[in-house]
Amino acid sequence: MTRLKGKVAVITGGGSGIGRAIALAFGREEALVAVVGRRRAALDRVVSELGQADYRALAVTCDITQEKQSKAAIEGVEREFGPVNVLVNNAGILSVSTIETVSEGEWDEVMATNLKGPFLMSRAVLPSMRRKGGGSIVNIGSVLGLVAMKQRAAYCSSKGGVTLLTKAMALDHAHEKIRVNCICPSIVETELVKGLFSDSEQGQQDREARVGTLPLGRFGKPGDIAELAVFLASDESSWITGTAIPADGGLTAY
């Protein structure tokens, strides 16, 4: 039995990395998948992958930091597939900085993408979920929304906001059978992370040192996060809301 059969799912940042993995996993579970992002070519590639496996999918170009675009994206998905059951707020950006080194512009961009985007997309999807009689919102936060590390001031601030936004929304909308949960990954092998470590000897040493902080001894894979997202989107998690679940290789067990 497929776990998401017939559910309409919207995934932001769906063109690559974790978002792509979630889209493919949702397709496998027979959801109707809408991948949302700014880069049309990347979205089209994911839709093509889903189509080759005979999964129904739709690419939606949208800047999630703009309210009109967020609302239009949800309305377009509903016209194509019907009311939305699942929203995955995955789109995000990284900032390696302290409060002294981050520019005001970069700070604003991080907050807009990582925190304002989930706020706008979640607000846009609520009427659709109400028409469906409920739904599941899955925020892709970060372990750095639970604990901090050096040179991540803006990023930690934005992801800490996602953690508490998740809990606040869960309380506000539980009576409508709209569940809200947050996945908090540590470092996951994506295009974004590959750029953190150079091919130099020092870069590889830095990578090995980072792996050494994880009790399970490896970075995460996009599929690790995707499988948890499937669970939180499915009816199997129908009594779970307001959680921030670390998917972190054991990092926060220390």
Which residues belong to the active site? 155
**Beta-carbon count within 10 A of 199 CB:** 7
**What would the two tokens of residue 97 be?**
């900085």
At residue 156's C-alpha, the angle toward residues 150 and 162, to 5°, is: 165
Number of residues written out for the chain: 254
13 in the Ramachandran plot: left (φ > 0), alpha (ψ -120 to 50) or beta? left
Q: What is the spatial distance between Cα 112 and Cα 89, in angstroms, rounded to a whole number?
A: 13
Return the bridge partners of 139, or none. Answer: 89, 182
167 in the Ramachandran plot: left (φ > 0), alpha (ψ -120 to 50) or beta? alpha
Beta strands in 62-115 (DSSP E): 86-89
- DSSP state letter for 200: S
Residues 16/194, Cβ–Cβ less than 8 Å: no
